[in-house]
Each structure stands twice: as C-alpha cells, then as structure tokens.
Amino acid sequence: MTTLSIFSQNEPTTAHTVTSDAAEIQRLLAEQGIRFEQWPTRAFAANASAEEILEAYADDVARLKAECGFQTADVVSLTPDHPDKLAFRQKFLDEHTHAEDEVRFFVRGQGLFYLHLGESVYAVLCQQNDLISVPDGTRHWFDMGPEPEFTCIRLFSNPEGWVAQFTGEAIASELPGYETLTGAV
C-alpha cells in the first residue's frame, strides 16, 4: 500500500505523520512542490518488453512530455535474482540532487523515495500505478530494498539519463530504512 511517513530531521527515528490515503499523500506532497499521481493499470503481458510497456502508457507519457518538456522515456526493471542488486541499491542510498526532475512511474513492484525538504524528510513508499516527480535540486535518496522487485517508466529532460550530485550528508543513514518502513526482511 502506498504510504507517506514524515520525519523531523532532528528526530529521525519516529515518524510524526503517517498516511496511506492517496488524496492526502498527493495534497501533502503538492504542498512541498512534489508531483504525485496514480495512473490506471494498463493491460500488457507479464513478460512485456520495454517497448510494449511504453506503448501501453503512451498517452500518459506523451502528456508529461508535453507538459514538462521531457525528451526521453525508458523502462527500468530490477528483480531479486539480479546479480548486481546490492550495488544498484547502494548507488541510490546516499542523499543527492539532480539538475532535472526525477520522474518515476511504477508499472509494478515498489520502491521508497526519501525527500529531504527543509527540516523534514518525507518517505514515500511508491507502489504499482504511482507516479512521483522529484523537482530538480531536491535533496533525496531511493531505497529499493534488499530484494528489489519493480519496473518503472523513467522520464528525462537530459538525454544522458540519471546524473546525480551527492550532498555528502549522512542523513540517509539516520532514518529508518526500507526494511523497517515496509516490514520486509
């Protein structure tokens, strides 16, 4: 279930707000300039190719491209049997920013975005059908968990794709991680 947990950076072990209400999540994130949407499920085979997934969501992707100026869209998938899953997880666990919006639509599975906004950290557990757009310059990190299982559509303004500037801050290690917030082992 999609969940938003809000922590104070000064008391990072206990969330002061937790909600699974999609409308409330959208409202609280919008107040911080974060786009959050839930798109309807589209039909395609379980083993669909990236092209088939992009075709299934072509209208939604085209709308965002026109609205926000994105140039490219691709599909990324990770499964628990991927040999580099630990390296991929580690790559995204440190706080960083981007020079463009980071947009992810979860076609299947889930992942946990942490958004460091002022004195608070918003932990958004995104699941199938959730779209999140983290504005450029927003300090954040992503935790896919120890057994990642997701497929996402990514949209980019920069044709080079994912380029991060790491902040060097340790806050990501101070908050409850994926296993704690999702109950995963």
At residue 162, the pLDDT reads: 67
Give the residues of the chain that fall short of pLDDT 70: 159-162, 184-185
At residue 161, the pLDDT reads: 63
Domains defined along the chain, listed by start: 35-109+126-170 (2.60.120.10)
Residues 6+ apart with CB under 8 A from 77: 150, 151, 152
Please state the pTM of the whole predicted model.
0.94
82 carries a ligand binding annotation: no
140 carries a ligand binding annotation: yes
Burial class (CB in 10 A: 0-12, 13-18, 19+), 12: middle
Nearest to 153 by CA among 21, 80, 59: 59
Residue 33, phi-psi category: left (phi > 0), alpha (psi -120 to 50), beta (remainder): left
124-174 pLDDT, tens digit each: 999 999 999 999 999 999 999 999 999 999 999 876 666 788 899 999 999
At residue 183, the pLDDT reads: 84
Report the C-alpha gap between 40 and 104 in whole angstroms. Answer: 15
At residue 45, the pLDDT reads: 82
Q: What is the DSSP letter of 171?
A: G
At residue 143, the pLDDT reads: 97
102 carries a ligand binding annotation: yes
96 carries a ligand binding annotation: yes
